[in-house]
């Protein structure tokens, strides 16, 4: 996120199905939607996030269905998940334009 962009949407057809990602800034919040195809796993990096503030579909990320683990690594949160559709949201105050790639 950053570099003057306010949203990005991308997808890739893999041999397991579509992998998709969409992020955007909404007011003072950052939202990341991901689609992980069946029979696959993913590591999702949430830049500028604080673990205690990250929600997945409105629930604390640690309590969300399909999430195996979530942990803080420096200035990001790493989430390990199974297949499914996820929507992560958190405050965007730590995401400064151009700071992340």
- Overall average pLDDT of the 81-96 stretch: 88
Higher pLDDT, 2 or 36: 36
pLDDT at residue 70 in the model: 96
Given a cut of 60, whether residue 29 has pLDDT beyond it is yes
Given a cut of 60, whether residue 92 has pLDDT beyond it is yes
CA 2/CA 39 separation, integer angstroms:
32
**Tokens representing residue 40 in the block:** 């696959």
Higher pLDDT, 2 or 8: 8
Given a cut of 90, whether residue 34 has pLDDT beyond it is yes
Query: What's the start-to-end Cα distance of the chain, in Å?
Result: 6
Q: Which residues of 61-83 are buried (b: 16+ CB within 10 A; e: fewer)?
A: beebeebeebeeeeebbbbebeb
Higher pLDDT, 27 or 64: 64
> Tens of pLDDT along 35-74?
999 999 999 999 999 999 999 999 999 999 999 999 999 9
- Residue 54's SS3 state is coil
**Tokens representing residue 56 in the block:** 């997945």
């Amino acid at each position: 996120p950053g570099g003057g962009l306010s949203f990005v949407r991308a997808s890739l057809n893999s041999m397991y199905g579509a992998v998709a990602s969409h992020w955007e800034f909404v007011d003072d919040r950052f939202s990341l939607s991901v689609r992980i195809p069946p029979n696959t796993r993913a590591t999702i990096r949430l830049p500028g996030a604080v673990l205690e503030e990250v929600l997945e579909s409105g629930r604390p990320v640690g309590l969300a269905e399909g999430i195996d683990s979530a942990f803080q690594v420096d200035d990001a949160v790493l989430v390990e998940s199974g297949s499914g559709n996820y929507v992560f949201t958190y405050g965007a105050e730590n995401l400064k334009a151009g700071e992340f790639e």
